[in-house]
C-alpha cells in the first residue's frame, strides 16, 4: 500500500508536469481539428496530379496565387506542368486589386480562357465573385472540388515552431531564475533587465557602432556589452543579498525599479530601431532542419544549465545552499560565492533574453519585458521547483515554460478572448502549486 | 458538346474543398479577420473591437479579437498565431509604432494583408494596406476652440501631455496652433503656462494637476489629452476644493468622461468615434478582397461634446 503510494508519488514528481503538458497538447489538438487545406507547393502539386491531369485538349489557363512564399510555391509546379504540356498559361502572383486589373485588361484584349485556377489562400477573395462580370466567357464556370485531410491546426509544424519561438525569452529568463530560486531566493529584476539589455545594446549599435550599417562583429560586441552590464547588475544584487543580508525580494525589487528607470533614461522613452537588418539573425533566422536560431539558443541554455546542475560541484552547492544554508556553511560550501554566481547568472540570462527580444523586434524599447518576471516565476513554479529552495530542476522549468506557452497559443487558436485567458493562466499556476503540495503529502520523501 | 464554353470551368484551388460551393452560392467560406488591439482595458479599444466584430458579421466574416496589452512581443506572437490559422486579413493597433516592422513583414511574407486602426505604423519596413484613425490634429484644434469658449477668451491654461504617443503629439500640436491662430486673428489672450506629462492616466494626471495648482494658483483652464487625464485633473481639483474654478477640456468621449461633462466637471470633449474607425477598417478589408481601391489613410473627424449634448445623450442616465 505504502509502496504503491510511494511509486505514485515518484511518478508524479518526475513526470507529473510533463504529463500535464502532454494532456494539454492532446486537448488543444482535439479542439483545433479542421479540414487542413494543404498550401504552397503541396497544393500546387496535388492540383496538377488530380484535376489538371484529367483535362484533355488544348485548354487555356489563368492561374492566380497570393504574393507570398506559399503563393509562389503553389504557382511553381503548375507553371512547370503547363510548360511541359505546352499549354498557353498566364500566371499571376499578386493581390486582389491586381487580379481585378489583370482580368479587366485580359477581357479588354478579348482574351479567352478555359480555366481559372486560384491558390487556396484566395478562397475568400471576393474579387472572384465578379469573375463572370470581368471575364464574361466564364459565365458557365463550374467549381471542381478537392478534399483536404482533417488535421489539428495545433499540431502543424509551423504552429509548434511558433509555440517554441514564443516562449524563448520567458524560458531563458526562467532557466536563470531556477538557479536563484534553488538557493531559496527570488529575482524580481529580470523583466527590467530585458529592457535594459535591449536598450543598451541597440543604443550602442545606433550611436557608436555604425547604426544600420553596423557589422556583425559590432552587433556581437553590443550584445556582449548588454549581457555584461546585466551580469554586473546581478552581481550587485547578489552582493546586497550576501553582504548585507537583505531579503532578495527587496534587493531585486530595488534593482527592478532602477534598471527600468535606467532603460527609460537611456532610450528617452522611445524605441531605438536604427539597427541593421542582420540584427534579426538571432530572433528571426532559421538554421539546421529549419529550426529557428532562437529555439536552438534556448535548448543550448537549458542543456548547459542542466549539466551545470546535475554534473558539477557548483550545481550540488546550489541545491545544498537552498536546502539548508547553515548546514552547507558548516560543511564548507562557499555559500556567499554560490549565491553571487546564482544572481549574476540569472541576470546575465535575463540580458540574453533582452538581446533575443531586441533581435525579434529589431529594436530596443524600455517597455520590453514588463511583468515578464511573473511569467518566469510561474514557469519555474509550474515546473516543480520549490519556492523555499533546494528542490527542483531546470528541465522541469522548461516544461513549465512550455505549458504556459501551449496554453497561451491554444487559447489564441481557439479564439478565447483575452480576459478569460488571464483567468485560465492564473488557475493553471494555482493548480501547479496544489499539485506540488499533493506530491509532498503523498510521498514523505518528496519534502526532503 | 463541342462548344468550348461547356468545358469552361473554374477550379478555385483546393481551398474550396471545405465547403460545398458553387461560384455564386450564398454559403461561401467565411473570411476570418485576426485583430490585435492595443489594450482591452481601455473602453475605446473595446468599442473599436466590438464594432469591427459587428461590421465583419454584417459582411459574413468572422473575427478573432486579441489584445497586445502594450507588449510588442506579445502582439507579434498573436500575429504569428493568426498566420498559422491562415486568416484572410489582420487589423492591428500597433503596441509600438516603430517596432511593429518585423511583425508586418511576417504577415506580408505569408501574403496576409495588414490594416491598422487608431495607431499607425512608423516602421521603415512592412506594408500596411490602409490606416484608419481619428483626426487627432483637428481634434486638438477643437479642444482649443472649446477651452477659449469656456474661458471667455482670456486666462492661463496648462496642458496635461503624453508625448510618448504619436496621436497625442498631434492633439497637442493642433491645440497650440489653433490657440496661436486665435491669439493672432481674434485677440484671444490665453497663455499656456505649463505643459506637464500626465502619463495619459488618471493617477499620474492627478498628481501632475496637484503640482500645477501649487505652481500656478491662478490657473484658469486645463487641456487634458484624454479622458483619464481629464478625470485625474477633476479629482485633483475636487481634492483641493477648487472644483469648477478651473475649466477642463478632455478628449475621447468615454462613458465616464461624458458623465463628468454632464455633471459639469469637464467643460467639453472633442469626442472620437471608435465605432466609425472599426467600421471603416472592416470596409477596407471588404474592398481589398473584392479588388477595389483602398485609401492609404482615412481620418475620422472629432466632434465637440458639451453639457448640452450630454443632457440629450440617451446613453447617459
pLDDT of residue A36: 66
Enclosing domain of residue A190? 158-447
In this predicted model, which residue has the larger pLDDT, B40 or A347?
A347
Work out the average pLDDT over A274-293: 85
Where would I find the beta strands (DSSP E) of A333-433? none
Chain A environment of B109 (Cβ under 8 Å): 68-69
The number of domains in chain B is: 2
Q: Are B230 and B150 in contact (CB under 8 A)?
A: no
CB under 8 Å to B124, separation ≥6 — which residues? A273, B101
Chain B environment of A194 (Cβ under 8 Å): none
Q: Are A193 and A233 in contact (CB under 8 A)?
A: yes
Q: Sort strands A61-66 and A115-118 into parallel, antiparallel or unpaired.
A: parallel
Distances (CA, A) of B170 to B75, B161, B174, B252: 25, 11, 6, 14
- Per-residue pLDDT of A70-115, as tens digits, reads 888 888 888 888 777 776 677 778 888 888 888 788 777 777 776 7
Angle at A376 between CA A370 and CA A379, to 5 degrees: 145
In this predicted model, which residue has the larger pLDDT, A58 or A181?
A181
Q: How far is A373 from chain B (nearest CA, A)?
A: 14
Do A269 and A366 share a structural domain?
Answer: yes
pLDDT higher than threshold 90 for residue A171: yes
* Closest by Cα among B223, B33, B262, B48 to B140: B223
Residue B102's closest chain A neighbor by CA?
A361
The cell 499540431 sits on which residue?
Answer: A155
Do A360 and A386 share a structural domain?
Answer: yes
CB under 8 Å to B253, separation ≥6 — which residues? B227, B269, B270, B271, B272, B305
Q: How far is A78 from chain B (nearest CA, A)?
A: 11
Beta bridge partners of B269: B305
Side-chain-facing half-sphere of B283: CA atoms under 13 Å: 10
Contact A140 B290 (CB under 8 A): no
End of a domain among A147, A177, A209? Answer: A147
Q: How far is A251 from chain B (nearest CA, A)?
A: 26
In this predicted model, which residue has the larger pLDDT, A46 or B205?
B205
In a domain, B38, yes or no: yes
Work out the average pLDDT over A398-403: 93
Q: What is the mean pLDDT of chain A?
A: 85
In a domain, B248, yes or no: yes
Angle at B37 between CA B35 and CA B40, to 5 degrees: 120
Counting beta carbons within 10 angstroms of the beta carbon of residue A67, is it exposed (0 to 12), middle (13 to 18) or buried (19 or more)?
middle
End of a domain among A147, A179, A198? Answer: A147
Contact B96 A365 (CB under 8 A): yes
pLDDT of residue A57: 58
Contact A138 B111 (CB under 8 A): no
pLDDT higher than threshold 90 for residue A176: yes
End of a domain among B109, B128, B147? Answer: B128
- Find which of B73, B161, B168 to mutate to test the A interface (most A CBs within 10 Å of its CB): B73
Q: In this structure, what CATH number is given to the domain that contains residue A128?
A: 3.40.50.2300
pLDDT higher than threshold 90 for residue A68: no
Side-chain-facing half-sphere of A163: CA atoms under 13 Å: 27
Do B178 and B102 share a structural domain?
Answer: no
pLDDT higher than threshold 80 for residue A145: no
Angstrom distance (rounded) from CA A137 to CA B8 = 8
- DSSP H or E run through B5: helix B4-7
Chain A environment of B289 (Cβ under 8 Å): 96, 124-127
Q: What is the CA B294 to chain-centroid distance, rounded?
A: 19
Contact B11 A365 (CB under 8 A): no
Do A171 and A128 share a structural domain?
Answer: no
In a domain, B285, yes or no: no
In a domain, A1, yes or no: no
pLDDT of residue A56: 57
Query: Chain B window 104-143: which residues touch A at a Cβ cutoff of 8 Å?
Result: 108-113, 123-124
Do A316 and A221 share a structural domain?
Answer: yes
- Helix/strand/coil for B316: coil
pLDDT of residue A439: 67
Do A415 and A335 share a structural domain?
Answer: yes
Q: In this structure, what CATH number is given to the domain that contains residue B34?
A: 3.40.50.2300
* Closest by Cα among B140, B141, B89, B138 to B117: B89
Residue A372's closest chain B neighbor by CA?
B71
For residue B110, what is the DSSP state? T
End of a domain among A92, A115, A147? Answer: A147
Comparing CB atoms, the residue among A46, A127, A412 nearest residue B14 is: A46
Distances (CA, A) of A53 to A56, A78, B22: 8, 11, 22
Q: Is any Cβ of chain B less than 8 angstroms from the Cβ of A388?
A: no
CB pairs under 8 A between A and B: 228
Chain B environment of A156 (Cβ under 8 Å): 84
Comparing CB atoms, the residue among B10, B293, B294 nearest residue A141 is: B10
* Closest by Cα among A30, A41, A34 to A79: A41
Enclosing domain of residue B51? 26-128
Q: How far is B81 from chain A (nearest CA, A)?
A: 7
> Mean pLDDT: which of A96-105, A132-141, A348-357, B155-164 is highest?
A348-357
Low-confidence ranges of chain B (pLDDT < 70): 1-29
Q: In this structure, what CATH number is given to the domain that contains residue A233?
A: 1.10.3470
End of a domain among B72, B103, B128? Answer: B128
CB under 8 Å to A316, separation ≥6 — which residues? none
Amino acid at each position: 500500500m505504502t509502496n504503491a503510494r510511494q511509486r505514485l508519488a515518484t511518478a508524479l514528481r518526475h513526470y507529473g508536469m510533463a504529463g500535464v503538458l502532454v494532456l494539454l497538447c492532446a486537448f488543444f489538438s482535439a479542439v483545433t481539428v479542421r479540414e487542413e487545406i494543404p498550401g504552397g507547393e503541396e497544393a500546387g502539386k496535388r492540383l496538377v496530379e488530380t484535376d489538371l491531369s484529367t483535362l484533355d485538349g488544348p485548354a487555356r489557363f489563368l492561374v492566380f496565387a497570393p504574393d507570398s512564399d506559399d503563393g509562389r510555391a503553389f504557382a511553381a509546379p503548375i507553371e512547370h506542368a503547363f510548360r511541359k504540356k505546352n499549354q498557353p498559361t498566364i500566371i499571376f502572383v499578386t493581390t486582389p486589386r491586381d487580379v481585378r486589373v489583370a482580368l479587366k485588361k485580359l477581357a479588354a484584349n478579348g482574351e479567352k480562357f478555359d480555366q481559372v485556377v486560384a491558390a487556396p489562400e484566395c478562397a475568400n477573395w471576393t474579387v472572384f465573385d465578379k469573375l463572370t462580370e470581368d471575364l464574361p466567357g466564364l459565365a458557365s464556370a463550374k467549381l471542381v472540388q478537392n478534399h483536404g485531410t482533417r488535421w489539428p491546426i495545433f499540431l502543424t509544424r509551423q504552429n509548434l515552431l511558433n509555440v517554441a519561438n514564443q516562449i524563448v525569452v520567458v524560458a531563458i529568463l526562467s532557466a536563470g531564475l531556477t538557479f536563484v530560486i534553488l538557493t531559496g531566493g527570488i529575482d524580481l529584476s529580470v523583466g527590467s533587465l530585458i529592457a535594459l539589455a535591449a536598450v543598451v545594446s541597440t543604443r550602442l549599435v545606433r550611436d557608436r557602432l555604425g547604426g544600420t550599417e553596423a557589422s556583425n562583429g559590432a552587433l556581437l560586441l553590443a550584445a556582449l556589452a548588454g549581457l555584461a552590464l546585466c551580469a554586473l547588475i546581478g552581481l550587485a544584487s547578489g552582493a546586497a543579498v550576501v553582504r548585507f543580508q537583505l531579503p532578495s525580494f527587496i534587493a531585486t525589487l530595488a534593482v527592478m525599479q532602477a534598471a527600468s528607470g535606467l532603460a527609460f533614461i537611456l532610450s528617452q522613452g522611445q524605441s531605438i530601431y536604427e539597427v541593421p537588418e542582420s540584427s534579426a539573425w538571432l530572433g528571426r533566422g532559421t538554421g539546421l532542419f529549419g529550426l529557428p536560431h532562437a529555439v536552438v539558443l534556448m535548448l543550448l541554455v537549458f542543456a548547459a544549465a542542466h549539466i551545470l546542475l546535475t554534473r558539477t560541484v557548483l550545481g550540488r552547492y546550489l541545491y545544498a545552499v537552498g536546502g539548508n544554508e547553515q548546514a552547507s556553511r558548516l560543511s564548507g560550501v562557499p555559500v556567499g560565492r554560490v549565491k553571487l554566481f546564482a544572481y549574476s547568472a540569472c541576470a546575465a540570462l535575463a540580458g540574453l533574453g533582452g538581446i533575443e527580444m531586441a533581435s525579434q523586434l529589431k529594436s530596443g524599447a524600455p517597455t520590453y519585458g514588463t511583468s515578464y518576471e511573473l511569467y518566469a516565476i510561474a514557469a519555474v513554479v509550474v515546473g516543480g521547483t520549490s519556492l523555499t529552495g533546494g528542490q527542483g530542476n531546470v528541465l522541469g522549468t522548461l516544461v513549465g515554460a512550455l505549458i504556459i506557452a501551449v496554453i497561451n497559443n491554444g487559447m489564441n487558436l481557439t479564439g478565447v478572448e483575452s480576459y478569460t485567458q488571464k483567468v485560465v493562466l492564473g488557475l493553471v499556476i494555482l493548480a501547479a502549486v496544489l499539485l506540488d503540495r499533493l506530491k509532498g503529502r503523498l510521498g514523505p520523501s518528496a519534502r526532503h | 458538346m463541342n462548344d468550348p464554353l461547356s468545358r469552361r470551368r473554374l477550379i478555385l484551388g483546393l481551398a474550396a474543398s471545405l465547403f460545398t460551393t458553387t461560384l455564386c452560392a450564398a454559403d461561401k467560406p467565411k473570411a476570418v479577420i485576426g485583430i490585435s488591439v492595443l489594450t482591452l482595458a481601455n473602453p475605446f479599444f473595446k468599442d473599436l473591437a466590438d464594432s469591427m466584430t459587428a461590421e465583419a458579421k454584417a459582411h459574413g466574416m468572422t473575427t478573432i479579437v486579441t489584445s497586445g496589452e502594450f507588449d510588442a512581443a506579445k502582439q507579434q506572437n498573436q500575429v504569428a498565431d493568426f498566420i498559422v490559422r491562415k486568416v484572410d486579413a489582420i487589423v492591428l493597433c500597433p503596441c509600438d509604432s516603430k517596432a511593429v516592422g518585423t511583425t508586418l513583414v511576417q504577415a506580408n511574407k505569408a501574403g496576409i494583408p495588414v490594416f491598422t486602426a487608431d495607431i499607425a505604423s512608423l516602421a521603415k519596413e512592412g506594408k500596411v494596406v490602409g490606416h484608419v484613425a481619428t483626426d487627432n490634429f483637428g481634434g486638438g484644434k477643437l479642444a482649443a476652440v472649446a477651452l477659449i469658449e469656456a474661458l471667455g477668451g482670456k486666462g492661463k491654461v496648462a496642458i496635461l501631455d503624453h508625448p510618448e504617443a504619436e496621436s497625442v503629439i498631434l492633439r497637442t500640436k493642433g491645440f497650440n496652433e489653433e490657440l496661436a491662430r486665435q491669439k493672432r486673428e481674434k485677440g484671444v489672450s490665453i497663455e499656456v503656462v505649463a505643459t506637464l506629462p500626465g502619463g495619459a492616466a488618471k493617477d499620474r494626471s492627478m498628481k501632475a494637476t496637484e503640482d500645477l495648482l501649487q505652481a500656478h494658483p491662478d490657473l484658469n483652464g486645463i487641456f487634458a489629452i484624454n479622458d483619464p487625464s481629464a478625470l485625474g485633473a477633476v479629482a485633483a481639483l475636487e481634492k483641493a476644493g477648487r472644483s469648477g474654478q478651473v475649466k477642463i477640456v478632455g478628449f475621447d468621449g468615454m462613458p465616464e468622461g461624458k458623465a463628468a461633462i454632464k455633471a459639469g466637471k469637464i467643460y467639453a470633449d472633442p469626442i472620437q468615434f471608435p465605432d466609425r474607425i472599426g467600421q471603416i477598417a472592416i470596409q477596407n478589408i471588404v474592398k481589398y478582397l473584392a479588388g477595389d481601391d483602398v485609401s492609404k489613410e482615412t481620418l475620422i473627424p472629432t466632434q465637440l461634446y458639451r453639457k448640452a449634448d450630454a443632457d440629450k445623450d440617451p446613453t447617459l442616465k
